[in-house]
Amino acid sequence: MTHGVNNPVTIVGLNARGAALARALAVHTRVTVWDGAGHRSEAPHIEGVSRAGSAAEAFTASPLAVLCGDDYDHVHRVLETAEPHVSSVDVVNLTSGTGDQAEQVAAWLGARGVDYLDGALMAHPEHVGDPDTVLVLSGSRPVFDRHAAVLARLGSPTYLGSDPGAAALYDVAMLNFAWSTLLGFLETAALLGTAGVSATSVSPLLTRWLSGTVAEVITGYASQVDDRRYPGDQDWLELDAPLMDHLVEAARARGIDTALPELIRSLTAKGIEAGHGRASFASLVEVLRV
């Protein structure tokens, strides 16, 4: 059976994100909420939802339970309490965690006959429900299909396959990309700050460069990574290495933490040692696979 957007939904976990999920759905359908943590001092106010008084009430109120725990301990506590009542519900779990944690929950629920879909909603609470908010899901395809209309109210849902750990991996992999870029920006801003260049004066140039040149380079590197061939037509590791020395030296001389530049340099040295001296920077993906 496919459930329309008007089918009731239970949200478990009343942290900021769980509350945002409940708010995004309550305008369309009957929403039941239950915290299940038992330690939250004050529950957030959410217009137009029913509050379940027990696990039984929460898990029998709707054909779909969306878990949004503080962490996986929270999820496990919820599921153990709810065990007698889970069999007639589909479970979507948006709790942030690792792929292994998602797989454990999938196995636990699978043993009880429950279809499980794991997801990662890559947004701050206030962007929950925006049509371009990235929502990646993996695990049970039937759950994805049955609740497609509800999921589409939370963001832009993409199904990544039947491995319940894939969505969590995707989540941390995307975060890694954002953090690396942002840390690079902060290091660059700190370096230029030592010469009196303000971050706001340089950020327009950097973001333009990101959208243009850097994005182009990434697109080219993606093909190289997939082909496992890294032609260094324009730049190659041995050409980069002395510039990395200058970078480390500049950071040290100006009292800026050198860990990031040193990491870039040491991975490049490893790449050269491994025979990629005349290959592009993308060849470092080979030394990252340990």
State in angstroms the smallest separation of the CB of 218 from a second copy.
5
Cβ proximity to a second copy, 149 vs 202, nearer residue: 202
Cβ proximity to a second copy, 88 vs 198, nearer residue: 198
Cβ proximity to a second copy, 5 vs 214, nearer residue: 214
State in angstroms the smallest separation of the CB of 62 from a second copy.
28
Q: What is the spatial distance between Cα 65 and Cα 78, in angstroms, rounded to a whole number? A: 12
Residue 98 burial by Cβ neighbours in a 10 Å radius (0-12, 13-18, 19+):
middle
The three-state secondary structure class of 152 is coil
State in angstroms the smallest separation of the CB of 142 from a second copy.
21
State in angstroms the smallest separation of the CB of 148 from a second copy.
20
What is the signed CA dihedral for 26, 138, 116, 104, rounded to 10 degrees?
-120
State in angstroms the smallest separation of the CB of 59 from a second copy.
26
Q: Distances in Å between the alpha carbon of 107 and those of 74, 147, 245?
A: 17, 21, 50
Q: What is the spatial distance between Cα 54 and Cα 36, in angstroms, rounded to a whole number? A: 8
Q: Distances in Å between the alpha carbon of 119 and those of 39, 96, 236, 256, 276?
A: 25, 8, 39, 39, 38
Cβ proximity to a second copy, 21 vs 282, nearer residue: 282
State in angstroms the smallest separation of the CB of 226 from a second copy.
5
The three-state secondary structure class of 156 is strand
Cβ proximity to a second copy, 24 vs 168, nearer residue: 168
- Residue whose C-alpha is closest to residue 92's, from 57, 64, 123: 64
Cβ proximity to a second copy, 55 vs 169, nearer residue: 169
Q: How far apart are the first and last CA of the chain?
A: 46
Q: Which residues pair with 12 in a beta bridge?
A: 34, 67
State in angstroms the smallest separation of the CB of 186 from a second copy.
4
Cβ proximity to a second copy, 6 vs 201, nearer residue: 201
Q: What is the spatial distance between Cα 136 and Cα 168, in angstroms, rounded to a whole number? A: 9
Cβ proximity to a second copy, 149 vs 214, nearer residue: 214
Q: Which amino acid is at 67?
A: L
State in angstroms the smallest separation of the CB of 241 from a second copy.
12
Residue with tokens 């660059």: 188
Instruction: Report the alpha-carbon angle 276-278-281, nearest 5.
Output: 65
